[in-house]
A and B are shown apart, each in its own frame.
Chain A
């Protein structure tokens, strides 16, 4: 088959054979990867600017309004437009798949990806057209500072973020409505049983019963462990959406009054209190739902790849509950450089409770590795490679953050490139995305009805370029942070150009890897298939019939 024919027709992909659940999943996945490309390009622009005056970009990219506009939308596009979409797509497919029940509403699932896509686009337009640039931190009263920013731009930005959060609430409703639906295997379960299982209380009771010599509380928990992780992580997703929405409403009120010629007093809102509130919510993404979702994804992938039960499943269930509680109490590590923050909060929330993330994430890593080890020999499939890549990513990124969540270290690392590159970018690009790529490869045959991937060589090239580029970019950026390079500062005179050139080379590898992945996907499904994904489905089924156990058969060496 010629390359051109592949480009048009794909390998053996037939979009008309897909049911409604498969199509809505693939729609969100397509949008997610398109936003990933946008965020990678934005990242490369910022990296090139800080390499110094000899960078090949037009001078306007070095102008502060332009540069910080990109920096403002970069995380919005990356975290919400790309990551949220991909995670939500995977979970809205996996929950029906694992519970063997239909998704509550495919219409709502369609609304979710549309709302997030439109919301992300609006936020991006606000930055592109009006150069609204308060950064994602929205430190009060900067987002309402109309002496620096255009009011209309601010309103468009906030409306965009609000739409993303409304879409997020739609996802949450869909997930819980599916989990609590008393149909199929859950026909005879009560809501209380599903609730107890969702919070992993049954796992905790099983542990207590074992220690006290009693028979297990529940031999067969109502919900599979990955569903429990989704259930728990979604609690943080909900709380985070409420915090971001309410902060958005506050900013919107100030902007609308300003537009009406009656500006409100920004000093009426305490900046430090706001910072606490906003970081509490925002941290539920970084230290809450991401870690819980990732732990759940590792458990799922390990059990699907090996076809065996998870090692120490009851401990894993109980640990997910601990992780949820920890995620509510760690936000102060973002305020260790704020001298008005009470020292006790810095010590307990910022240092001690935060250190528990080493325990919870280390536990997830241990359980996943042992589950894989006990099932050896395994074939080194793409999904297994990516899973190991994801483990490396979090193995590097979590300690990098724990080190900084310390009152001594924070004094010399706060707001430097260390935290954003050595921690955030390695956690997201390597840890989270490689886990998600693993899920993509596991789910690919199920969601696309056994479509043959165009090239395994391209898959491997993507893996290695992405892994080396991702770690390299984070490492060189982190080193620049140790040399004093700030994360929210403009350097156009090449102050840190050696490390930034090296980081830019690695960033280019990530960008090229994404292009290779995208090309491989397009050559597999074809442009016709790609368009077909967005056409209505003839089969309105909202569930998928293949048993999860069948996936493991493909991984036996």
Chain B
């Protein structure tokens, strides 16, 4: 199993967690009901160490599963050794993007590097579909090295589905991000990334 974008991953996650939530609520409800009964018998005997092993396997197995099923995990860890198909560098200061490229057009399957530097506050970088769902994101921390050069906040992303994505800051950096009446996000960049060339179900 491999997830090619966040929508597939989140749909799987929602189903799995909903099933889990239904189970845990039902188990405690059943347990509560039987606590009051004189004739209640154990349905199944859960060995203590088997339960512990299950929890350890669940905790560790979850990460092993996602490492193998979510392609951006290994890509993120090894990003220093990956050559992207294109790179875009820009900065942010006083809640304004500086040196922002015009709409970025990405061919299906291309890996893009985003490198963003902050002059003042902690911001975020997030790409969103037109229906508001999140494609990807990272935090943008301010800071400089000993030579006064702004710190990088870089990430790689491979686009496997067509779409036009908006960009805004995903981290709160004060009320100045918005218009006074709150109706406008002043850091929102409409149609920032456009992905073309993918089949309907994703990928080339």
Q: Which of A347, A380, A490 contacts B182 (CB 8 A)?
A: A490
In the complex with contacts A408-B9, A557-B36, A403-B62 CB distance below 8 A: yes
Q: Is the CB of A359 within 8 A of B55?
A: yes
21 pairs from A and B in contact (CB 8 Å cutoff):
A62-B181, A63-B182, A67-B175, A133-B175, A137-B172, A142-B122, A142-B173, A270-B143, A337-B138, A347-B77, A363-B52, A392-B25, A396-B25, A399-B17, A407-B73, A408-B72, A409-B66, A415-B170, A471-B25, A484-B131, A490-B182
Answer whether residue A59 sits at the interface, using C-beta atoms and an 8 A cutoff: yes
Q: Is the CB of B10 within 8 A of A369?
A: no
Q: Which of B26-44 contact A (CB under 8 A)?
A: 28, 31-32, 34-38, 40, 42
Q: Which of B36, B51, B69, B128 contacts A376 (CB 8 A)?
A: B36
Answer whether residue A185 sits at the interface, using C-beta atoms and an 8 A cutoff: no
In the complex with contacts A133-B175, A377-B40, A485-B132, A412-B10 CB distance below 8 A: yes
Answer whether residue B147 sits at the interface, using C-beta atoms and an 8 A cutoff: no
Q: Is the CB of B37 within 8 A of A484?
A: no
Most buried by A among B36, B77, B137, B177: B137
Q: Is the CB of B24 within 8 A of A396?
A: yes
Q: Which of A294-336 contact B (CB under 8 A)?
A: 312, 335
Answer whether residue A378 sits at the interface, using C-beta atoms and an 8 A cutoff: yes
Give CA–CA (A422, B76) in the complex, Å.
26
Q: Is the CB of B171 within 8 A of A415?
A: yes
Q: Is the CB of B31 within 8 A of A373?
A: yes
Instruction: Kindly supply a per-residue 1/0 record for chain A positions 133-156, scoring 1 wherever the CB is within 8 Å of any chain B CB and 0 otherwise.
Output: 111010111100101110000000
**Nearest residue, chain B, Cβ from A141:** B121
Which A residues form the contact surface with B (CB < 8 A)?
Answer: 59, 62-65, 67-68, 133-135, 137, 139-142, 145, 147-149, 266-267, 270-272, 275, 312, 335, 337-340, 343, 347, 351-352, 355-356, 358-359, 362-363, 366, 369, 372-373, 376-380, 384-385, 388, 391-392, 395-396, 399-400, 402-403, 406-409, 411-412, 414-416, 422, 471, 475, 479, 482-486, 488-490, 492-493, 495-496, 557
* B67 CB → nearest A CB, Å: 7
Q: Is the CB of A65 within 8 A of B175?
A: yes
Give CA–CA (A410, B24) in the complex, Å.
24
* B103 CB → nearest A CB, Å: 20
Could you say which residues of chain B place their CB within 8 Å of the CB of A140? 122
Could you say which residues of chain B place their CB within 8 Å of the CB of A411? 6, 72, 76, 136-138
Give CA–CA (A275, B171) in the complex, Å.
13
Could you say which residues of chain A place their CB within 8 Å of the CB of B120? 141, 145, 266
